[in-house]
Amino acid sequence: MKSLSPSFMQNEEIIVDEVIARLGNTINLATPLALGKANHVINAFYRRAKADPSINLNIMTALTLECPKGKSLLEKRFLEPFVERVFGDYPDLDFELDRVKKNLPANIRVFEFYYPPGKFLQNPQAQQDYISSNYTHVARDLMDRGANVIAQLIAPGETKDASTFSLSANPDIALDLINMMQQRGEREGVPFAIVGQVNPNLPYMYGDAEVEASNFHYVLDNPEYYYRIFGAPKLSTPEREHMVGLYLSTLIRDEGELQIGIGAMGDAFINALIFRQKDNQNYLQVLQSLELEEKFGEIINKVGGTGILEKGLFGASEMVMDGFLHLYEAGILKRLVYDDLPIQRLLNEELIGHEVTPATLDLLLQRKAVHMYLSRDDFDYLVKFGVFQDGLLYEDGVIVTSQGLRIRADFTREENKQQILEHCLGDYLKGAAVVHGGFFLGPQDFYQKLKALPEQERRLFNMRSVRRINHLYGHEEIDRLQRKNARFINTCMKVTLSGHVVSDGLEDGRVVSGVGGQYNFVAMAHELPDGRSLINLRSTREKGTKVLSNIVWNYGHTTIPRHLRDIVVTEYGIADLRGKTDSEIIEELLKITDSRFQAKLMQQAKKAGKLRSDYQIPEKFRNNYPEVITQKIAAFRRKGFFPPFPFGTDFTEQEQVVGKALKSLKRKSHSKRLMLRMLIKALFTLTIPEVQKPYLERMGLWQAKGLEERIFRNLLANELKNVVKTE
């Protein structure tokens, strides 16, 4: 049940009026995760419900983005100029600001299936209203909760007739949800409203993301609301992330498929894979210095490789991060796939290439992809995929060329076939993709590069329903052909010695983030004959001044059960767990555990009878210390192979230095003893080195006013001494 023509409006309040008149006072508003939210429309619904308690507003979404805001004076001074420069006129969502303050009205609830990691650990209402769903089940679950409004940010069509829009960054849920609402409306007469908000700052993405304007009931198009799209700033990549990325890069096989999950490890992995491709000689030297062949050669040779990726990779990932574009630019993401079984099979079998030849058509005829007497559907198929050139016409079994030549579409007669081969063949196959994605998110530079891509190249990045990406059901045969040598890379928080993976929550039940699509991809890796799941994590974490192991004996929460264990990677190496016994799993994980915790974990396993009493960790795996990593890669860092910002950053050089000092201060502040010591030292700090002036000026603290500013200035100045070399 599609509206014949959307109502274009410049006033969001009128849209709210019309939707309430259409649906009544119960609004179950579904809006995409991350970039795709129609912020002005959502804020209008929120304001209306906040002012009118008779309206029952339920907002259903995920990954709600908010401009960074500081709590302390130092955080505010650091963030305010940065936010103004980087986020510009991005309008925060009013419901999010109130939710953070724990101030949502009683008639408004916000349900989410994925949180920014750690944001709502101390927010009981958010914890209570979290919905745990696999990403592929979200559209279903939203419908079960009675979703009756969609509010989606859309990119305007590139033609003046406004007949199409692009769902751009977020076709992930919207494509399915729109169809489900339309079907429910036709079947049960349930009213609904699809609302789009136009923002030309979104890249116009083609493929599945391009939809007819008639899908929308209302479209808010007001140039005053063309705000800057939320750009996630690049954070620094520490040494241990670089090491994890390096190990991951050795597990990628040529002519494969790649998925990368949300997390800070992505940049490190992308950087390492480009390093492998562009400077293979030095890459191999780094691996040699880390004794990779001796320690992990068996799994690397079995699963991945260390050579140049000649045939390249294809990407199929719920999240398309800017790293995919870097891989494309580096000539790594170049394996073209097609949503067509006969063509994809022939490519996999290496019987055809991407260039159209007479053999292409012959093989499609042999495989019965088209008939010897071409029907209209056969003709359209050949044109769609570029086997036939554009400009041809089909009239009652006759092909008409642009020169007016008429050829019978009949391959049973040799003269017809020869004329078709001479006058109708195209040059290259069409409709290819190098990426299938559900949503994208990244820095401003990423969006600008996407917008600047010529249409032909932008079409290679096919944004589509998450159900087409995160599992095999309903389209398994084509996915199996496309996802050859698939590698699914996801980050977790902890791994237990029995092989359980903890990614989204704490053992007291509080949600850190959400399962998202991680379970989907891990399960898929086990269903594909040459697929592997690569779970990565830091081996340790800091809690104040205390260091704790992220590889633990046991934990009271599980995201990925141990029967789906596969490969685990830390900064100390690779553990292959698939098909292993319980004792073998423990042995493999101990090898990539920080050596400060190996002995205790080994004893726990022995005490429980899960590890033989005489087992000892091999000597070559008993030197897993951060300083050893630093020492081994120091020379390569000096050559620029492991930079702190491998793909640039929005932070100025001064902000990078101040940021380091602020992070150190925050870490130390978790210790009351250290905090007291720092405060006492700050009170008795009488002089500030001149070399610190530009950094303190950036914070507005070089000329401190009042006691509070002086204390914060001195706290920062003392920490800067550890970052900035004084004269």
Label the pairing between strands 210-212 and 218-220: unpaired
412-453: pLDDT as tens digits: 999 999 999 999 999 999 999 999 999 999 999 999 999 999
Task: Report yes or no on 637 lying in a domain.
Answer: no
42 and 56 both lie in a single domain = yes
- Does one domain contain both 99 and 208? yes
Q: How many domains in the chain?
A: 4
Same domain, 470 and 528: yes
What's the pLDDT score for residue 725? 62
Compute the mean pLDDT over every residue in the chain, rounded to the nearest whole number.
94
Residues 57 and 96 in one domain: yes
464 and 583 share one domain: yes
Confidence of residue 1 (pLDDT cuts 50, 70, 90): very low
Q: pLDDT higher for 383 or 637?
A: 383
For residue 727, pLDDT over 60 is answered with no
Q: Mark which of 377, 392, 423 sits at the end of a domain.
A: 423
Look at residues 202, 225, 248 and tell me which one is the last residue of a structural domain.
Answer: 225
With 50 as the cut, is the pLDDT of residue 362 above it? yes
Residue 298, in any domain of the structure: yes
Indicate whether 636 belongs to any domain: no
* pLDDT tens, position by position, 615-634: 999 999 999 999 998 888 88
Distance CA 709, CA 171 (A): 48
Same domain, 380 and 438: no
Q: Is the pLDDT of residue 483 over 80?
A: yes
Q: Is the pLDDT of residue 726 over 60?
A: no
Report whether pLDDT(544) > 80: no
pLDDT of residue 434: 98
Q: What is the DSSP letter of 410?
A: B
Query: What mean pLDDT is predicted for residues 640-646?
Result: 90
Q: Assess whether pLDDT exceeds 80 at residue 160.
A: no
Mean pLDDT calculated for residue range 667-684: 83
Sorted by sequence, the CB contacts under 8 Å of residue 5 that are 6+ apart come out as 213, 214
Residue 406: enclosing H or E segment and its boundaries?
strand 406-408
Mean pLDDT along residues 525-543:
96
Here the CATH number for the domain that contains residue 444 is: 3.40.1080.20
Same structural domain for residues 612 and 470? Answer: yes
Residue 232, domain member (yes or no): no
**What H or E segment, with its residue span, contains residue 278?**
helix 265-278
Do 217 and 93 lie in a common domain? yes
Task: Identify whether 78 is part of a domain.
Answer: yes
Q: Which of 258-262, 263-267, 283-287, 591-595 has the lowest mean pLDDT?
A: 263-267
| Position 262 pLDDT exceeds 90 | no
Q: Is 397 left (phi over 0), alpha (psi -120 to 50) or beta?
A: left
Q: Please report whether residue 69 resides in a domain.
A: yes
Residue 386: pLDDT band by 50, 70, 90 thresholds? very high
**pLDDT confidence tier of residue 684, bands split at 50, 70 and 90:** confident
- Whether the Cβ atoms of residue 14 and residue 219 lie closer than 8 Å to each other: no
Statement to judge: residues 408 and 485 lie in one domain: no
User: Are 152 and 18 within 8 A, CB to CB?
Assistant: no
Rounded distance, CA 96 to CA 31, Å? 13
Domain that holds residue 166: 7-225
CATH value at residue 93: 3.40.1080.10
88 belongs to a structural domain = yes
In the chain, % of residues over pLDDT 90: 83
3-state helix/strand/coil string of 652-709: CHHHHHHHHHHHHHHHHHCCHHHHHHHHHHHHCCCCCCHHHHHHHHHCCCCCCCHHHH
State the residue for tokens 């076709």: 171
* Mean pLDDT across 115-137: 96
Q: Give me the pLDDT at residue 536, please.
A: 97
Using 50, 70 and 90 to split pLDDT, how confident is the model at 162? confident
Are 472 and 394 members of one domain? no
Instruction: Say yes or no: 148 and 94 in one domain.
Output: yes
Tokens for 291, please give them.
């004794």
pLDDT given for residue 235 in this prediction: 87
Q: Does 328 share its domain with 349?
A: no
Q: With bands split at pLDDT 50, 70 and 90, how would you rate the model's confidence at 719?
A: confident
For 84-103, write each residue's pLDDT tens digit. Answer: 999 999 999 999 999 999 99
Last residue of a domain, one of 225, 260, 282: 225
- Cα distance between residue 513 and residue 529, in whole Å: 30
| 429 falls within a domain | no
Query: Using 50, 70 and 90 to split pLDDT, how confident is the model at 4?
Result: low
